[in-house]
């Protein structure tokens, strides 16, 4: 598990003390730190410490920097059942707080977020306030995220893209053979989960395409019968909002996912909920993936209400009463 926190004290050590009993830390791990500057903003010291190996389905108590408050988190199980909370386009509004309060009430082992986290949009102090907002949940369960368009923050000739996101939300990309924090994979219980990047190169000549092809080939369906993909811009979308923005990525990568028998593709970006039947190449297909859009986490831009005529593959009319939290995985996949 990687623990990340930020201090204003540049002399604070990147160390985490932890153990399985409250107030008793029998283990210590040291890590690394980074910082970044963006226009007139300078971040605090960003600490990243990997702790473990850890037992599954176990509560650990920990403190950061050798002092201060004690936190606790629970590791995911190593086998089914597995419960995943999924939310996209979170932001920092009263709606966000309502979403987080709802997730807190749900028994879940891990949270998955397919992009658009803080909605800082160049105002870097909002990354700090977002961290404060999500800390009560993100300190107790693993949060696995991928980037959305609001993480870009690129300013031509002045600032490169994804500086804040990459510095603050370091995911296990190196551990999964990726060369970029914008796409990676991991395994939990019986699920192999792939986080793709909608805003980095994805055509057949790209590093991401080559990595995805290799990662899918390594997936052991006996060990991880569930194969789930998350990305930001949806490939199947019957909402007028962001219509067609995922088409080029779908054209390049959907054949890879279909050949690997991916079960589910989860996206954000469109501020609405929609679930598809199993679909491939725009047609109903019993061997295709189920596509879910879950981009209504509470961001300041509001909901996307303008719908096209429902596609044959869309289940939105049938699913309007479904609850989006949590996603429960059992051994039976189909």
Q: Which residues does the annotation mark as catalytic? A: 242
Chain center to CA of 108: 15
CA distance 166 to 152: 10
Alpha helices by DSSP H, the chain: 94-105, 125-138, 163-168, 207-218, 247-259
Phi then psi for 58, rounded to 5 degrees? -130, 140
- Token look-up 């189909």 returns 334
Phi-psi region at 282: left, alpha or beta (left = phi > 0; alpha = psi -120 to 50): left
Quote the tokens at residue 2: 């990687």
CA distance 259 to 228: 14
Single out the residue of 167, 173, 142 nearest to residue 46, CA to CA.
Answer: 167
DSSP of 152-186, one letter per residue? ---BTTTB-TTHHHHHH---STGGGT-S-TTSEEE
Quote the tokens at residue 279: 């679909």
Q: How far is CA 310 from CA 90, 96, 274, 305, 334, in A?
A: 26, 28, 11, 13, 25
């Amino acid at each position: 598990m990687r623990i990340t926190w930020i201090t204003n004290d540049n002399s604070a050590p990147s160390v985490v003390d932890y153990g399985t009993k409250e107030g008793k830390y029998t283990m210590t791990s040291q890590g690394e730190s980074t910082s970044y500057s963006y226009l007139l903003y300078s971040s605090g010291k960003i600490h990243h410490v990997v702790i473990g190996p850890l037992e599954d389905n176990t509560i650990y108590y920990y403190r950061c920097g050798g002092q201060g408050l004690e936190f606790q988190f629970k590791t995911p199980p190593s086998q089914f059942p597995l419960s995943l909370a999924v939310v996209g386009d979170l932001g920092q509004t009263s709606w966000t707080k309502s979403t987080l309060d709802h997730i807190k009430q749900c028994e879940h082992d891990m949270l998955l977020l397919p992009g658009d986290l803080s909605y800082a949009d160049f105002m870097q102090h909002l990354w700090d306030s977002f961290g404060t907002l999500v800390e009560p949940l993100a300190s107790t369960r693993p949060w696995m995220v991928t980037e959305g368009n609001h993480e870009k923050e690129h300013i031509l000739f002045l600032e490169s893209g994804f500086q804040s996101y990459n510095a603050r939300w370091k995911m296990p990309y190196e551990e999964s053979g990726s060369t970029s924090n914008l796409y990676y994979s991991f395994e939990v219980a019986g699920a192999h989960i792939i986080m793709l990047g909608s805003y980095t190169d994805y055509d057949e000549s790209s590093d991401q395409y080559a990595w995805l092809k290799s990662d899918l080939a390594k997936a052991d369906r006996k060990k991880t019968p569930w194969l789930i993909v998350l990305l930001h811009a949806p490939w199947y979308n019957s909402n007028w909002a962001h219509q067609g923005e995922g088409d080029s990525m779908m054209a390049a990568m959907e054949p890879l996912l279909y050949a690997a028998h991916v079960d589910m593709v989860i996206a954000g970006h469109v501020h609405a909920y929609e679930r598809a039947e199993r679909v491939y190449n725009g047609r109903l297909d019993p061997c295709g993936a189920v596509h879910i859009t879950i981009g209504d986490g509470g961001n300041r831009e509001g909901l996307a209400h303008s719908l096209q005529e429902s596609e044959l593959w869309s289940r939105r009319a049938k699913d309007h009463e479904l609850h989006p939290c949590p996603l429960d995985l059992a051994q039976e996949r189909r």
